[in-house]
């Protein structure tokens, strides 16, 4: 199938998996693990995928934890992966801020504050990450006032929710939507579903979208984002998956399977 004939915003009825895939983009939370626990069969499935020789990248919108800690955590669960294979929305934001020479006001979780660097006392951009329990009215109101003075907003993600060990939790998208509503600005997103985030992974791997597959548990930000970038998406029924996600009229995954292990088997055919 051909992707380049699609106008922006247009989607084919259903995308198809490439017959000869060269790379796989893998979401982390809800696909390989929930909280501190590997999902059943995920460790062995990743081994199998590696043995196949396909190029791999791990794409995460989690911005409460630095990539290095995430890497250590995943290794501790038994997964085999290199820190450099993990592409985070937080590092994408840092790269974007540096490339544009911006003076950021960082609103991020204390865990990644050092990785992002110091905030500028005279900021020309607000950069929002998932602060979790550290979101405060005072902090949000400070951002609100900057945005009302026409300082633009970059957000690492706009995910609606994610699966934690004790249940579904509200994700940072709620705060992005709230600031957008009150100020009238529209945030620029650095993580999924931003096309640039997927493009960066493809460029590093040197593969074309139509030779790549994404595996994720988020219909909108994983599968929808990937398919908008011309990458076929496999939706897994783990993590934040909810009944009905596989019947959405607007986003039709190339494949919907029970979990990561089944996705890998389907890919390796």
Applying CB under 8 A, what is the total number of residues that bind a second copy?
31
Nearest-angstrom CA–CA distance, 218 and 240: 7
Indicate the pairing of strand 33-34 with strand 37-38: antiparallel
Residue 133 sits in the site that holds a second copy (CB under 8 A):
yes
Q: How far is the CB of 110 from a second copy (least distance, A)?
A: 13
Of the pair 41, 152, the CB lying nearest a second copy is at: 152
Count of Cβ atoms closer than 10 Å to residue 47 Cβ: 14
Among 178, 186, 203, 268, binds a second copy (CB under 8 A): 178
Q: Is the dihedral of CA 32, 34, 40, 43 positive or negative?
A: positive
165 binds a second copy (CB under 8 A): no
Task: Yes or no: say if 218 and 237 are a contact pair by the CB < 8 Å rule.
Answer: no
Q: Considering the rule CB under 8 A, would residue 140 count as an interface residue with a second copy? A: yes
CA distance 135 to 107: 9
Q: Which letter does DSSP use for residue 87 in this model?
A: E
Task: Tell me, rounded to whole angstroms, the distance of Cα 159 from its chain centroid.
Answer: 8
Considering the complex, state which of residue 3 and residue 144 has its C-beta at the smaller distance from a second copy: 144
Residues 184-223 close enough to bind a second copy by CB under 8 A: 184
- 209 versus 225: smaller Cβ distance to a second copy: 225
The window from 52-60, 113-121, 161-169, 201-209 that contacts a second copy (CB under 8 A) reads 161-169
Closest contact distance (angstroms) between CB of 77 and a second copy is: 25
173 binding a second copy? (CB under 8 A): yes
State the alpha helices, DSSP H only, in the chain.
42-51, 67-76, 89-99, 110-116, 137-148, 173-183, 195-205, 225-228, 260-268
Instruction: Select from 69, 134, 185, 195 the one that contacts a second copy (CB under 8 A).
Output: 134
Instruction: Mark out the alpha helices in 126-250 (DSSP H runs).
Output: 137-148, 173-183, 195-205, 225-228
Minimum distance, C-beta of residue 171 to a second copy, in the bound complex (Å): 7
Assess 183 for contact with a second copy (CB under 8 A).
yes
Task: Tell whether residue 244 is a contact of a second copy (CB under 8 A).
Answer: no
Q: Which of 41, 123, 132, 152 binds a second copy (CB under 8 A)?
A: 132
Of 47-55, 81-89, 134-142, 188-196: span binding a second copy (CB under 8 A) = 134-142
Kindly state the smallest distance separating residue 197's Cβ from a second copy, in Å. 20
Computed on alpha carbons and rounded to an integer, the radius of gyration of the chain in Å comes to 18
Q: Please list, in sequence order, all residues whose beta carbon lies within 8 angstroms of the beta carbon of residue 100, skipping any fewer than 6 positions away.
A: none
Residues near a second copy (CB under 8 A) are 131-138, 140-141, 144-145, 148, 160-161, 167-171, 173-175, 177-184
């Amino acid at each position: 199938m051909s992707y380049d004939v699609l106008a922006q915003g247009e989607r084919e009825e259903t995308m198809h998996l490439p017959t000869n895939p060269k790379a796989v983009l893998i979401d982390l939370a809800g696909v390989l693990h929930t909280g501190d626990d590997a999902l059943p069969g995920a460790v062995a499935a990743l081994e199998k995928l590696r043995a196949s020789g396909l190029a791999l990248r791990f794409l995460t919108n989690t911005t409460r934890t630095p990539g290095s800690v995430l890497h250590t955590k995943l290794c501790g669960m038994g997964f085999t992966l290199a820190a450099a294979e993990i592409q985070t929305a937080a590092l994408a934001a840092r790269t974007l801020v540096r490339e544009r020479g911006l003076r950021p006001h960082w609103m991020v979780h204390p865990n990644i504050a050092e990785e992002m660097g110091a905030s500028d006392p005279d900021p020309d951009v607000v950069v929002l990450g998932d602060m979790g329990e550290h979101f405060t009215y005072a902090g949000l109101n400070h951002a609100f006032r900057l945005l009302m003075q026409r300082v633009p907003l970059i957000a690492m993600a706009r995910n609606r929710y994610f699966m934690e060990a004790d249940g579904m939790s509200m994700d940072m998208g709620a705060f992005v939507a709230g600031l957008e509503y009150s100020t009238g600005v529209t945030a620029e997103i650095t993580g999924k579903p931003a096309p640039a985030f997927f493009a960066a992974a493809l460029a590093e791997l040197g593969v074309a979208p139509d030779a790549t597959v994404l595996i994720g548990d988020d219909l909108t930000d994983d599968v929808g984002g990937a398919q908008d970038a011309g990458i076929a998406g496999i939706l897994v029924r783990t993590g934040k998956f909810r009944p009905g996600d596989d019947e959405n009229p607007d986003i039709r995954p190339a494949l919907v399977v029970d979990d990561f292990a089944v996705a890998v088997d389907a890919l390796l055919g």
